[in-house]
C-alpha cells in the first residue's frame, strides 16, 4: 500500500484534523474517523513511542474515510509528531479508490492551505 504524503502542515495532528474535517465538509465531502492512535494506545501503559522512545510524546495517527458521490470512500491518513502533520491518501492496488474523489480531496486541501501550512512534496 502506498501512503506517500501529499501535504505537510505545521500544526499538531489534532489541529490538522479539525482543519481537514472543516475543509472536506465545506467541499461537500463526508468524513468518518476510523482510527485514533491515542485511543488505541490508551489501554497500554507500557507502549513506548518508536520515534521518541518514551510514553510521553506527541505522536498521533488518525485515519479518515472520506466519502463523495462514489460508493467507496478514500482513506486519508494524518500522521503527526513534533508539531507537524503529514497528510496521505492510502492507495492499494487491490482496492482502488475513485481517482476523481482522490483529486477532489487533494485539491480541496491544497487550495485552502493557510499561511502556516507547507507542501510535502
In this structure, which CATH number among 3.30.310.70, 3.50.50.60, 3.20.20.70, 3.30.565.10 belongs to the domain 5-42+58-114?
3.30.310.70
Give the pLDDT confidence of 6-41 residue by residue, as tens digits. Answer: 999 898 999 999 999 999 999 999 999 998 786 766
How many contiguous H segments (helices) and E segments (strands) does the chain have? 3, 6
pLDDT score, position 119: 46
Q: Is the pTM of this model over 0.85?
A: no
Residue 111: HSE in the Cβ half-sphere, 13 Å Cα cutoff = 10
Higher pLDDT, 46 or 85: 85
Q: Are 88 and 6 in contact (CB under 8 A)?
A: yes
Predicted confidence (pLDDT) per residue in 56-96, tens digit: 667 889 999 999 987 899 999 999 988 899 999 997 777 77
Instruction: Identify each DSSP E strand in the chain by its residue range.
Output: 5-9, 30-36, 60-67, 74-81, 84-89, 117-119
Domain ranges across the chain = 5-42+58-114
Q: What pLDDT sits at residue 54?
A: 57
What pLDDT is attached to residue 2? 67
Residue 58: the pLDDT is 73
Q: Which of 1-5, 30-34, 50-54, 97-101 has the lowest mean pLDDT?
A: 50-54
At residue 43, does pLDDT exceed 80?
A: no
Cell 492496488 locates to 93
Amino acid at each position: 500500500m502506498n501512503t506517500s504524503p501529499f501535504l505537510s502542515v505545521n500544526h499538531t495532528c489534532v489541529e490538522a484534523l479539525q482543519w481537514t474535517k472543516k475543509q472536506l465538509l465545506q467541499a461537500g465531502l463526508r468524513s468518518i474517523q476510523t482510527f485514533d492512535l491515542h485511543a488505541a494506545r490508551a489501554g497500554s501503559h507500557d507502549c513506548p513511542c518508536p520515534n521518541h522512545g518514551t510514553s510521553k510524546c506527541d505522536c498521533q495517527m488518525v485515519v479518515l474515510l472520506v466519502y463523495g458521490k462514489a460508493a467507496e470512500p478514500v482513506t486519508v491518513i494524518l500522521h503527526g509528531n513534533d508539531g507537524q502533520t503529514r497528510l496521505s491518501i492510502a492507495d492499494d492496488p487491490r482496492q482502488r479508490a475513485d481517482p476523481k474523489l482522490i483529486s477532489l480531496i487533494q485539491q480541496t486541501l491544497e487550495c485552502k492551505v493557510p499561511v502556516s501550512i507547507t507542501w510535502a512534496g
